[in-house]
Amino acid sequence: MDDAPEITVLQLPKFKAEATELIGTDGIEALAVYLIEHPDAGDVIPGSGGVRKLRWAAKGKGKRGGARIIYLYVVIAARVYLIRCYAKNVKTDLTADEKKQLRQIAAHLKGAQ
């Protein structure tokens, strides 16, 4: 019997707007199911406070050229926060300023537990 708490997936408003456009509601639902089963699947972004980046298929594209999902898994709270979603062809890497913003978001979300 597994006593681990069930993981909850929460969408931040910016993510919801971006992801609805890029991967659609079915894609968001599939992503949530995947992250419940594999919450640490993405690579940790260095300098981001523990935020992760995951490749995900966009509408009409595969994972490689598709969407990038930016999320935070807070283990102690059993929560995955979906933060951003963008197309790889729009942005390849995060800037230092964006990483700083992610660190601040991560600190806020971790403190909200």
Entry pTM: 0.89
d(CA 98, CA 24): 24
Could you read off the pLDDT of 14-25 as tens digits, one per residue? 999 999 999 999
Could you read off the pLDDT of 30-51 as tens digits, one per residue? 999 999 999 999 999 999 999 9
Could you read off the pLDDT of 6-16 as tens digits, one per residue? 999 999 999 99
Residue 10 burial (C-beta neighbours within 10 Å; 0-12, 13-18, 19+): middle
Domain 8-111, CATH among 3.30.160.20, 3.90.550.10, 3.20.20.70, 3.30.2310.20: 3.30.2310.20
Domain range list for the chain: 8-111
Q: pLDDT exceeding 70 applies to what percent of the chain? A: 92
pLDDT of 26 > 80? The answer is: yes
> Residue 63: its pLDDT value, please?
64
